[in-house]
A = this chain, B = another copy of it.
Amino acid sequence: MSNPPKSATHKRARRVKLADVATAAGVHYSTVSRVLRPGFKGRISDDVAERVRAVARELGYQPNAVASSLRTQSTRSIGLIVHDMNDPIYPPILSGIESVLSPDGYAVLVGNTGYGADAELDLVNRMAARLVDGIFLATTRLKDPAVERCVQLGIPLVSVLRQTESGTTPAVMNDCFRGMEALTSHIIDAGHRDIAAIIAPQDLSTAQERWQGVQSAMRKHGLDLPEHRIARVSRMSTEEGERATKSLLDAATEPPGVIICVNDLVAIGAIRACRLSGLDVPWDISISGYNDIPLMDMINPPLSTVHMHLDKIGKAAGEMMLEYLANPELPARTQRFKPEVILRGSLQGVHPQG
């Protein structure tokens, strides 16, 4: 009958539509629509419903989501904007979000900004053009035009991991201030006094809170962080971590006793740089991270860090989005997850010397 395709990819098959099912079942296509959609249970005679359903199944009818979306102004799709999916903090977020939204028929559109602010805004605009029902923004800066644009367009937005300065955006995040404050306190309690820090651009709440956490803990212990013990990364990557650590080691004759890194990737870079400088971690110098991304217990040395519960954050973000989709008038709420300090071998205690 039908001629077989020459290759695996052949001409797009004509899709079965409502009208096809309708003629085959001998009813009007609006009836088919009603039968096939939930919410019209009692309003249709059983025999018609059954016949229509049978025909639909037989013809392999699948509703055209695009047509439906145009009509209902809802695409059942949501966007997720991240800096770079290669950063291990994002996959669990995506998984969590998807596990919550997928059962409700939502699809997730993923966009990488590549750390660019313009790209971020562009992604929001492109997603808006696609009429996404909502956007998860994991790249939120303290002042973020992308957030404003979502508000302006009336697109439900849930900020993940980070928050704006005003704090008026629905958000699910980790309490980075307390996490880093606690970790720093541990470090000080272990006897460290010569502390260095690698900090990230302060336009991200995560970076800001962590830095404030370090400072708060040190103030509480009457300690000070001199400028030559502070290094800055332009982004939280291993490469930047390595570079910043080199500059830190070059800035003084003696290496610090410990380097508190803004996150695990930066800490990995720091470990690499220390090795290259002939320093043993942790015997010559201690290092800490933040996030507890996978395998941080397996690296050499096992990294002391702060666990984030990224999967929980992802799930919670998904649930929060569902709430806002169901009720857009809901006031903005920020949900914070408690961080958990994880002490491992990369941190070595210091015994006060005479």
Q: Chain A: residues with CB nearer than 8 A to chain B?
A: 5-13, 62-67, 69-70, 73, 75, 77, 84-86, 88, 90-92, 94-95, 98-99, 102, 105, 107-112, 125-131, 147, 151-157, 168-170, 268, 271-272, 294-295, 298-302, 324, 328-332
Tell me which residues across on chain B come within 8 A of A109, comparing CB atoms. Answer: 77, 107-110
Chain B residue at minimal CB-CB distance from A10: B154
Of the candidates B13, B125, B157, B268, the one whose C-beta lies within 8 Å of that of A152 is B13
**Given A88-B88, A92-B86, A128-B62, A9 and B299 contact (CB-CB distance below 8 Å):** no
Cα(A125)–Cα(B95), bound, Å: 20
Chain B residue at minimal CB-CB distance from A134: B9
**In the bound complex, do residue A169 and residue B8 qualify as a contact, i.e. CB atoms below 8 Å apart?**
yes
**In the bound complex, do residue A328 and residue B62 qualify as a contact, i.e. CB atoms below 8 Å apart?**
no
Chain B residue at minimal CB-CB distance from A268: B298
**In the bound complex, do residue A75 and residue B86 qualify as a contact, i.e. CB atoms below 8 Å apart?**
no
Cα(A188)–Cα(B162), bound, Å: 50
Chain B residue at minimal CB-CB distance from A152: B13
Tell me which residues across on chain B come within 8 A of A156, comparing CB atoms. Answer: 9
**In the bound complex, do residue A66 and residue B131 qualify as a contact, i.e. CB atoms below 8 Å apart?**
yes
A327 to chain B, nearest CB (A): 9
Tell me which residues across on chain B come within 8 A of A298, comparing CB atoms. Answer: 268, 271-272, 299-300
Of the candidates B11, B73, B112, B154, the one whose C-beta lies within 8 Å of that of A95 is B112
**Given A85-B91, A295-B268, A131 and B65 contact (CB-CB distance below 8 Å):** yes
Tell me which residues across on chain B come within 8 A of A6, comparing CB atoms. Answer: 329, 331
Tell me which residues across on chain B come within 8 A of A294, comparing CB atoms. Answer: 86, 88
A133 to chain B, nearest CB (A): 9
Tell me which residues across on chain B come within 8 A of A127, comparing CB atoms. Answer: 107
Of the candidates B70, B73, B110, B129, the one whose C-beta lies within 8 Å of that of A110 is B110
**In the bound complex, do residue B65 and residue A129 qualify as a contact, i.e. CB atoms below 8 Å apart?**
yes
The interface centre, meaning the residue of A7, A8, A129, A330 with most chain B CB atoms within 10 A of its CB, is A8
Cα(A12)–Cα(B328), bound, Å: 9
Can you list 19 pairs linking A and B with CB atoms under 8 Å apart? Answer: A7-B330, A8-B157, A12-B154, A12-B155, A12-B328, A66-B131, A85-B85, A86-B91, A86-B92, A86-B95, A86-B294, A95-B112, A99-B112, A107-B126, A107-B127, A108-B110, A109-B110, A271-B298, A298-B299
